[in-house]
Amino acid sequence: MKFIKGFIFAFLLSSTVISAQIQDKKLDKLIQKTLTTFDVPGISVGILKDGEIVYAKGYGVRSLTTKKDMNENTLVGVASNSKGFTCFALAMMVDEGKLNWDDKVRKHIPEFQLYDAWVTQEFTVRDLVTHRSGMALGAGDLMFFPEGNDFTVTDVIKNVKHLKPESSFRSKFAYNNNMFIIAGEVLKRVSGLSWEEFIEQKIMKPVGMNNSKASYNRVTNRTNIIDAHTRTEGKVVQIPHDWSETANAAGGIVSNVKDMLTWAKFLMNDAVTSDGKRLLSSNQFHELWQLQTPLKVGKNDWYNSNFRGYGLGWFLTDVKGGHKQVYHTGGLLGTVTQFTMIPDLDLGIIVLTNQMNGNAFNTITNTIKDSYLGYKDRNWIKTYGDRNANYLKYNDSIKASVYKKVSLAKNNKSLPKPSQILGTYNDAWFGDVVISFDGNKYTIKSKRSTDISGELLPYNQTTYVAKWNNRSFDADVFVNFTFNEKGNAESATMKFVAPITDFSFDFEHLNLKKVN
């Protein structure tokens, strides 16, 4: 009898192992197919279930140049997944009595000033981290994006007063990185440590994130770190790492799948470390995952969600029957990442990539999530694969049409003369942009962000196209001039050529006035 019971137990155990192996093979196959479908060089994936790492693997290569394998230890810039760390750190200061979420920002940063005087006075620390400032999506991001500019945190604090709101204060969600940069400065002033020092010493070290750093420049061992990649002129190519240290509090952390799984385990253990140390009170930890700024749920939502919105550094929603999901994504030039937790299922899913295509991480995360929520195979790779192909085709067609008109405009005899548009144009928060002419072609260049440089091509009598020298930006813009009664340009605005342009290329909020 004992033998039979032991045999049955051993059989059931082996069946569970075999089943897990089959599921792993299915997931392996899916991720390999994801690499090719979305032209991503490398992906690393991790799953945490019931406090245990059940999956942690890398696929493809970390660099198209070195061809070295991507693995679970490969370091990746997690980008805006850093925002959860910033809010956790601020909550620790609330616990210590050095800060209150509803403190006015000017209590800690007296020089803080926004476009509207009343909003300036009422703006709280909570407002900094909930994307409800009233400013437009990505407003002011050119102060840190792309890398190669000379803007500092001090400049960001000084210049946000020039960013005209798009909506009324606290009425609308609009993602804004600069407010998180200022939140990092609040942390520095109340804690006495830099944001980077605080994150590493007070959070990463006790949590056990031993291979992670608070910024790219703090990574000393780069033997296993990705190179960035993006689709440029129809082909995926390697590009230089791009991140400004000014914006670390908004997206500077570098980590890997294993460490991010450790972070997920810590969070789903109510902010208690593996050795039993509580880093944050239950009350403050609870506050982080409370809805602050609502967002709409689509009518035909895939997960039958009832609500969606932003908490303190986290997106929040419910999935299939009321399971609360806490999640965030992150994107840099050449990198996108996704971090997902369903706490009541004790489930964490991490997807890190080295190519700018969010369809890849959505395919993987949704497939894994569905398996735990009980959905049948919904073939996400086809859904997102078709969407991706159509979107790229659509954007490519727009750009081709624009540049066809540019080619034809060369023969337009009614174009402005060089003297009518040459000169220096100034934007209050971005600084000077210079348009010059060498007798053959026009050049447009930012003085403070040197990588923002390219050729200015005629489109029609009032509009030109800025074709940036760095083609990996995929961010060409129309430059629309306003002329005075003498036919000379007085000002200029910009508009994206194609919708694929990353919103952090914030050209559309520049208001350029000709100064000489």
Cα–Cα distance, 77 to 90 (Å, whole number):
22
- Give a yes or no: residue 160 inside a domain: yes
Domain end, chosen from 350, 378, 406, is at: 378
Shared domain check, 77 and 138:
yes
pLDDT (0 to 100) of residue 4: 37
Angle at the Cα of 153 (from 504 to 502), degrees rounded to 5?
A: 5
Q: How buried is residue 262: exposed, middle or buried, by Cβ count under 10 Å (0-12/13-18/19+)?
A: buried
- Give a yes or no: residue 208 inside a domain: yes
pLDDT (0 to 100) of residue 23: 75
Shared domain check, 411 and 369:
no
Cα–Cα distance, 187 to 198 (Å, whole number):
8
CA 179 to chain centre: 14
3-state secondary structure of 350: strand
Angle at the Cα of 510 (from 294 to 156), degrees rounded to 5?
A: 70
Strands in 3-41 per DSSP E? none
Shared domain check, 343 and 212:
yes
Q: What's at 264, amino acid-wise?
A: A
- Give a yes or no: residue 2 inside a domain: no
Contacts 24+ apart (CB under 8 A), 489-492: 489/416, 489/420, 489/421, 489/423, 489/514, 490/514, 491/425, 492/425
What stretches of 38-82 show up as alpha helix (H) in DSSP? Answer: none
- Give a yes or no: residue 5 inside a domain: no
CATH of the domain at 413: 2.40.128.50
- Give a yes or no: residue 9 inside a domain: no
Shared domain check, 411 and 340:
no
3-state secondary structure of 454: strand
CATH of the domain at 335: 3.40.710.10
Domain end, chosen from 327, 349, 378, is at: 378
Q: How many CA atoms lie within 13 A of 200 on its CB side?
A: 19
CA 121 to chain centre: 29
Question: At a CB cut-off of 8 Å and minimum separation 6, what does 308 contact?
Answer: 294, 295, 296, 297, 315, 316, 317
pLDDT (0 to 100) of residue 20: 53
Domain end, chosen from 329, 351, 378, is at: 378
Shared domain check, 297 and 177:
yes
Shared domain check, 146 and 101:
yes
pLDDT (0 to 100) of residue 263: 98
- Give a yes or no: residue 16 inside a domain: no
The helix/strand count (H/E) of the chain reads as 15, 20
Cα–Cα distance, 132 to 173 (Å, whole number):
5
Shared domain check, 305 and 415:
no
Shared domain check, 107 and 239:
yes
Tell which residue, 489, 494, 491, has the closest CA to residue 510.
494
Cα–Cα distance, 270 to 282 (Å, whole number):
7
Q: How many domains is the chain partitioned into structurally?
A: 2
- Give a yes or no: residue 97 inside a domain: yes
Cα–Cα distance, 101 to 222 (Å, whole number):
37
Shared domain check, 398 and 267:
no
pLDDT (0 to 100) of residue 410: 87
pLDDT (0 to 100) of residue 343: 98
Shared domain check, 425 and 372:
no
Range of 420's domain?
Answer: 394-514
The first and second tokens of residue 391, run together, are 């979107």
Shared domain check, 57 and 182:
yes
Tell which residue, 410, 458, 418, has the closest CA to residue 436.
418
Shared domain check, 98 and 219:
yes
pLDDT in tens, the chain (516 residues): 333 333 333 333 333 433 455 478 899 999 999 999 999 999 999 999 999 999 999 999 999 999 999 999 999 999 999 999 999 999 999 999 999 999 999 999 999 999 999 999 999 999 999 999 999 999 999 999 999 999 999 999 999 999 999 999 999 999 999 999 999 999 999 999 999 999 999 999 999 999 999 999 999 999 999 999 999 999 999 999 888 999 999 999 999 999 999 999 999 999 999 999 999 999 999 999 999 999 999 988 999 999 999 999 999 999 998 999 999 999 999 999 999 999 999 999 999 999 999 999 999 999 999 999 999 999 999 999 999 999 999 999 999 999 999 999 988 989 999 999 999 999 999 999 999 999 999 999 999 999 999 999 999 999 999 999 999 999 999 999 999 999 999 999 999 999 999 999 999 999 999 999
| Tens-digit pLDDT profile for residues 333-388 | 999 999 999 999 999 999 999 999 999 999 999 999 999 999 999 999 999 999 99
- Give a yes or no: residue 6 inside a domain: no
